[in-house]
A and B are shown apart, each in its own frame.
Chain A
């Protein structure tokens, strides 16, 4: 299964499915990362985590651990 964590910097992917539960899952969805949304991985923080992505026309950052909850397809 390919997750958002596996997407390389500078590449895009489309969200297929969300795992996880409760606040984290809801928060990810509320921020617009829903099924079918295209995301672009922009960069990684200087210390290696979190990552900055672009989706729905704005920038957001999320931890790699959370990115792993997001299944994507290229």
Chain B
């Protein structure tokens, strides 16, 4: 027999732990329709016929918060077969308040008192038998964390459900109120389900608007009831809601006094209290908070997260990666490399012996190192005299050294080749034999795509390159410069591309394997394109984020489960509520510096619906890692590599969040009293490994499924558009459908200074992934001397009006950058926003807002920037931009509009 059991309880009562224990891995996580509240259901692992519905953690069944509304409409309208009410045994008093409400719903109910192990450890006593008789329902003690009792509880409850056994509802209202409730019951009988009569009666008494609308009493009846309520209100000097709440708490207090014996005297500090004394100490709280946040950011975003994401992008979905290097284990090296290394080792040995002898002869210790600390001046002087006599100690060949050598050789070839071409002694031809009309610019990056044909050998012998600069691998500083001549060029040509599989266990990336597979089945270009670019490229982007998301969620799950998340809200609330956000918005914003996708998902820790929606809308405005790629291209290209230009994007991001928050707070959807910040600060406790893991996994899984499917579809469509012409011929990007589509809406971007299809298309591809904009611009930029960056510069020079002669290039670039920073984020993030909003109206609203804001900011930058810094006339564009700027300011400073009650 199919049974539905609703799991209800306070937040922090161990509800999630119990749910995980009961359902095992058979969970489905989604959203309740129309709200940003997480919905979880699963099948009981001891009996698959039983469906367990996890209700949001709530303190009451009031009609105000979305969690409470969801829970009550589920209990009342969907009529589960039974309610499993989990209660925190260490905090009976507040937890039973919800129980008194649940019992009135009239369904078979079982109260599971959790954390019995902690109760016992504290030496407290809890009389479960008495509790059961006072509540009039079954009560069982469990320990969800220790996985004790959960299964039995569920089995017991399913038996109750099958027998439809509802306990005896406790009577705790004063006679006066009780008679009023009975009177209401008589009035609404027949209009509501019989078993929930009491629940409805209490809600009518409380003047719950939702229930009043549902029972629709005739006016006369309604007035009579209203009169009775008023009488009681006057007598009690309180309002109806207050009276009912007081009655419930009075009853709970009675139960508490009768069933609980505390061992500790009130006022003694528990371990949790002691921890909290430090963690939220007036002086230490902020430093500790920033240390924790820094650590989390350091691990999740700047180190481990980036390594893993790089590995996923460049290794798994790139060329491939080394599982093990041979400088650790020679057995993994190819024979040739090992032989070379053996002879290098021999050379190194003899060089070392020789050097030791030289040093000894000069009166220095054999292992003297001039770089070491504490070297005396005299020793340093002596060392200088023998320095030239010391032989270089060769180091073993590794993958890094070999690939570095290959790159250096390319650098020399490019430098000498360019000098030879300039001298008219040689010319570049494409390496693959293809045709390229103009003489291309060859640099370190693309040198391997070309071959140098020496046309005049006599002249070539005299050609010398300009200085080639080499960076030190470790410090990144330039520590060598060389001039390459013909001899050296020929020598460097011999440096062969190292094969990664010679230097360790090399695992080829998925694209490489796919390529091999396609070669084997002799696939045509269409199949190749779809598989490589659309599927592996697109879905690879999605999965490339997975490692970072995993780490972020691991941290979040830990912070949440141990109880610190509530303290973060406590510490940060003062700042964030000023602009309509919550203290918990801090973490999503921070995570957003790495990637907007986990940032949007991290908003799940924010309970207040409005705060959460605001954070989702604004959370992606801190430039993420991919947007940083755009900054990294544009700042050296247009702004002389100025650190101010680069960091200004981050400051602008913060300013945009602050001011948007202030402005949005005054708009209708976000208007109204701030969500009450009356928040429980749960006791600290060590989360369980499996709990944190389940928590993390269910969120990551949800991301992969949803983002994966949307991205796959979108990438396929975009790939088709950019590969085919309208007559379905495979063509270059310039002739593709995307280009002609770009042409039709390029005018939209004219006021922003890049109204050319190339700028438009770059903005569209930026939507696939922000860093795609740089790749697209590089691809579409004209071939000019000086490399890609110069080309992009030339591209933007072409965007401005002809009269300006390219003077506006930097301004257009700034506008392009601003637009792409503050318009909607990439496709994956947008898909995540839609998923997390759980409501298409809100999703469209958020994305529309982002689009409007990005466009407005770009417009203001280009139009007003032109007037103020480039002496452009104050024309119609500038007037519109000024109007937009004024409107934005007005939205920020206007008084809070009055909320019209519906």
Chains A and B belong together in one complex: yes
* Given A49-B574, A57-B93, A61-B681, A26 and B673 contact (CB-CB distance below 8 Å): no
With a cutoff of 8 Å between Cβ atoms, the chain A residues found around residue B728 in the complex are none
**CB under 8 Å from chain A, chain B span 247-267:** 249
B357 contacts the other chain (CB 8 A): no
With a cutoff of 8 Å between Cβ atoms, the chain B residues found around residue A52 in the complex are 280, 570, 681
**CB under 8 Å from chain B, chain A span 10-66:** 18, 22-37, 43-50, 52, 56-63, 66
Docked-complex contact A23 and B245, CB < 8 angstroms: no
- Measured CB to CB, the closest approach of chain B to A23, in angstroms, equals 4
Docked-complex contact B673 and A60, CB < 8 angstroms: no
With a cutoff of 8 Å between Cβ atoms, the chain B residues found around residue A24 in the complex are 673, 676, 678
Q: Which of A32, A35, A36, A43 contacts B282 (CB 8 A)?
A: A43
A34-B249, A47-B575, A57-B94 are known; give 9 further A-B pairs, CB within 8 A.
Answer: A18-B242, A22-B64, A23-B676, A30-B60, A35-B242, A46-B285, A59-B680, A60-B678, A61-B570
CA distance A48 to B285 in the complex (A): 12
With a cutoff of 8 Å between Cβ atoms, the chain B residues found around residue A35 in the complex are 238, 242, 246
Interchain pairs with CB closer than 8 A, number? 116
Q: Which of B62, B573, B682 contacts A26 (CB 8 A)?
A: B62
Docked-complex contact A45 and B681, CB < 8 angstroms: no
Docked-complex contact A57 and B238, CB < 8 angstroms: no
Docked-complex contact A45 and B570, CB < 8 angstroms: yes
With a cutoff of 8 Å between Cβ atoms, the chain B residues found around residue A56 in the complex are 91, 93-94
B545 contacts the other chain (CB 8 A): no
Nearest CB to that of B679 among chain A residues? A61
With a cutoff of 8 Å between Cβ atoms, the chain B residues found around residue A44 in the complex are 282
With a cutoff of 8 Å between Cβ atoms, the chain A residues found around residue B93 in the complex are 32, 56-58
CA distance A74 to B280 in the complex (A): 26
With a cutoff of 8 Å between Cβ atoms, the chain B residues found around residue A30 in the complex are 59-60, 62, 97, 245
Nearest CB to that of A35 among chain B residues? B246
Docked-complex contact A58 and B680, CB < 8 angstroms: yes
B874 contacts the other chain (CB 8 A): no
Report the interface size for chain A: residues with CB under 8 A from the other chain.
35
Nearest CB to that of A32 among chain B residues? B94
B677 contacts the other chain (CB 8 A): yes
Docked-complex contact B677 and A61, CB < 8 angstroms: yes
- Measured CB to CB, the closest approach of chain B to A4, in angstroms, equals 11
Encoded as 1 (CB less than 8 Å from any A CB) or 0, chain B from 552 to 572 comes to 000000000000001000110
Nearest CB to that of B289 among chain A residues? A46
Q: List 7 A-B contacts (CB under 8 A).
A: A57-B91, A59-B680, A59-B681, A59-B683, A60-B681, A62-B677, A63-B677
Report the interface size for chain B: residues with CB under 8 A from the other chain.
39
Docked-complex contact B676 and A27, CB < 8 angstroms: yes
- Measured CB to CB, the closest approach of chain A to B188, in angstroms, equals 22
CA distance A46 to B412 in the complex (A): 59
Docked-complex contact B678 and A31, CB < 8 angstroms: yes
Nearest CB to that of A59 among chain B residues? B681
* Given A35-B238, A43-B282, A46-B285, A29 and B677 contact (CB-CB distance below 8 Å): no
Encoded as 1 (CB less than 8 Å from any A CB) or 0, chain B from 59 to 103 comes to 110101100000000000000000000000001011001000000
Docked-complex contact B681 and A62, CB < 8 angstroms: no
Docked-complex contact B571 and A46, CB < 8 angstroms: yes
* Given A30-B59, A44-B282, A50 and B245 contact (CB-CB distance below 8 Å): no
Docked-complex contact A43 and B242, CB < 8 angstroms: no
- Measured CB to CB, the closest approach of chain A to B576, in angstroms, equals 11
With a cutoff of 8 Å between Cβ atoms, the chain A residues found around residue B59 in the complex are 30-31
Listed residue (A43, A44, A62) with the most chain B CB atoms within 10 angstroms of its CB = A43
Which 8 A-B pairs rank lowest in CB-CB distance, beginning with the nearest? A30-B60, A23-B64, A47-B574, A59-B681, A27-B676, A24-B676, A46-B285, A29-B245
- Measured CB to CB, the closest approach of chain B to A74, in angstroms, equals 17
B286 contacts the other chain (CB 8 A): yes
B241 contacts the other chain (CB 8 A): yes
With a cutoff of 8 Å between Cβ atoms, the chain A residues found around residue B91 in the complex are 56-58
- Measured CB to CB, the closest approach of chain B to A71, in angstroms, equals 12
Nearest CB to that of A24 among chain B residues? B676
Nearest CB to that of B575 among chain A residues? A47
**CB under 8 Å from chain A, chain B span 268-323:** 276, 280-283, 285-286
Docked-complex contact B94 and A31, CB < 8 angstroms: yes
CA distance A44 to B778 in the complex (A): 55
CA distance A31 to B60 in the complex (A): 8
- Measured CB to CB, the closest approach of chain A to B340, in angstroms, equals 61
Docked-complex contact A34 and B676, CB < 8 angstroms: no
Listed residue (B676, B677, B679) with the most chain A CB atoms within 10 angstroms of its CB = B676
- Measured CB to CB, the closest approach of chain A to B207, in angstroms, equals 12
- Measured CB to CB, the closest approach of chain B to A41, in angstroms, equals 13
Nearest CB to that of A64 among chain B residues? B574
Q: Which of B281, B673, B683 contacts A23 (CB 8 A)?
A: B673
- Measured CB to CB, the closest approach of chain B to A42, in angstroms, equals 9
With a cutoff of 8 Å between Cβ atoms, the chain B residues found around residue A66 in the complex are 676-678
CA distance A58 to B62 in the complex (A): 21
Docked-complex contact A48 and B574, CB < 8 angstroms: yes
Nearest CB to that of B206 among chain A residues? A26
CA distance A45 to B281 in the complex (A): 8
CA distance A57 to B577 in the complex (A): 28
Nearest CB to that of A62 among chain B residues? B678
Nearest CB to that of A27 among chain B residues? B676
